Amino acid sequence: SQQGEEDPQALSIQEGENATMNCSYKTSINNLQWYRQNSGRGLVHLILIRSNEREKHSGRLRVTLDTSKKSSSLLITASRAADTASYFCATDASDSSYKLIFGSGTRLLVRP
Amino acid sequence: DAGVIQSPRHEVTEMGQEVTLRCKPISGHDYLFWYRQTMMRGLELLIYFNNNVPIDDSGMPEDRFSAKMPNASFSTLKIQPSEPRDSAVYFCASSRQGARSPLHFGNGTRLTVT
């Protein structure tokens, strides 16, 4: 069963614009992670944010976490064509803090 | 660091045949995960190991699926007998502290069962 659900399912933007993806989850968590997947490849870890953190940055990536709303967002600023990929949020499972459950993902297309 | 290595990259087999997928995790990672990805069901966790011991196999779909980790540097996922609905991309991932740390994924094995 999926813990996180991303919104939107698909997003198409122009190069240079910002892209925002949202993730909602159902039960309390210890941390939330974001991953990117290029077509035909494995997932690549982007950012891990712990439940006691509200915001985290990594280069052009900004992740926020609102535990009261059980939601997170991933912002990619000044997008590039190379950012075209699927993005997934993942949380530890309600029955175990050691197993990671993924959402359904957002497909991002950045048009040059 | 060579990353997580999976083999084969592609596997095409006929229904009823046995399929074995292989994974070499990153050295020093105590957790190993097997996931399956399909368009319909997304990324599903099949099983995970801690220190070579299976901890949770509740995601394994049927008795046709089995996974082993004989040592810290090798794991297999076996399907016997295979069925067309098993067609998917199977990923192996490893991490230092389970879901409390980043997972490192292999490039997956694309399985097609005809």
State the Cα–Cα distance between residues A110 and B49, nearest whole angstrom: 37
The pLDDT tens digits of the residues spanning B44-103 come to 999 999 999 999 999 998 899 999 999 999 999 999 999 999 999 999 999 999 999 999
Q: Is the pLDDT of residue A85 over 60?
A: yes
| B7 at A interface, C-beta within 8 A | no
Tell me the chain B residues in contact with residue A93 when contact means C-beta distances shorter than 8 Å.
99
Tell me the chain A residues in contact with residue B105 when contact means C-beta distances shorter than 8 Å.
42-44
Tell me the chain A residues in contact with residue B103 when contact means C-beta distances shorter than 8 Å.
33, 35, 43, 45, 100
Of the residues A28, A97, A98, the best mutation for testing chain B's interface (the one with the most B CB atoms within 10 Å of its CB) is A98
Among the ranges given (A5-14, A90-99, B1-10, B77-86), the one the predictor scored with the smallest mean pLDDT: A90-99
Calculate mean pLDDT across residues A37-64: 96
> How much is the pLDDT for A96?
77
Q: Is the pLDDT of residue A2 over 60?
A: no
- Min Cα distance A9 → chain B (Å) is 12
State residue B84 phi and psi, 5-degree precision.
-55, -35
The size of the A-B interface in CB pairs under 8 A is 73
Q: Is the pLDDT of residue A1 over 50?
A: no
Scored b (16 or more CB within 10 A) or e, A2-21 reads bbbbbeeeebebeeeeebbb
Structural contact between residues B64 and B83, judged by C-beta atoms closer than 8 angstroms: yes
- Residue A99's pLDDT band, with cuts at 50, 70 and 90, is confident
**Subunit contact B99:A99, Cβ cutoff 8 A:** yes
CA nearest to A101, candidates B98, B88, B13, B72: B98
State residue A92 phi and psi, 5-degree precision.
-70, 150
Among the ranges given (A16-25, A92-101, B40-49, B88-97), the one the predictor scored with the smallest mean pLDDT: A92-101
Tell me the torsion sign for CA atoms A2, B110, B2, B32.
positive
